[in-house]
Amino acid sequence: MTTTTTNSTNSTALSLPTVGGADILIRLSLAGTFIYHGLDKFPNIAAGAEWMGLPYALWLLVALAEIAAGAGIIAGRFIPNAIGDLTSRLSGVAIAVTMVGAIYLVHWGQWSNMPSESHPFGGMEFQTLLLATGLFFALRGNKA
């Protein structure tokens, strides 16, 4: 356990304990979301591509990218040295790119995640959180 100290204007320093490896909680949540949504596309990729108005190959790539990004965000944590860091960063980039596409194609124009008549899959509230988390790992890698 390490201690984080913050500077203060008074003479008493605030010391808060930190827990090493706590980033795994965020990684598991993010990975679970992406792996689930990637696998969920496979039962009928052609219909999903048609519904989204995207080419089959692009929709397949999205599904594979979601699965790979989810797996990579977990694997990157356990792969030592620069390879693990790069895996985490590339997975973060894949997550961010996927979420920009999802926000643009489906969720833009409504903030609330609640479904509405104009946005049957809800707004971009949750998607911006996923985008920001992906960008965090893209920028910080394993130094999270």
pLDDT at res. 2: 59
- Angstrom distance (rounded) from CA 132 to CA 50: 28
For the chain of 144 residues, list the mean pLDDT of each consecutive stretch of 10: 56 80 94 97 95 95 97 96 97 97 82 69 83 96 87
Q: Taking the model in full, what pTM does it have? A: 0.81
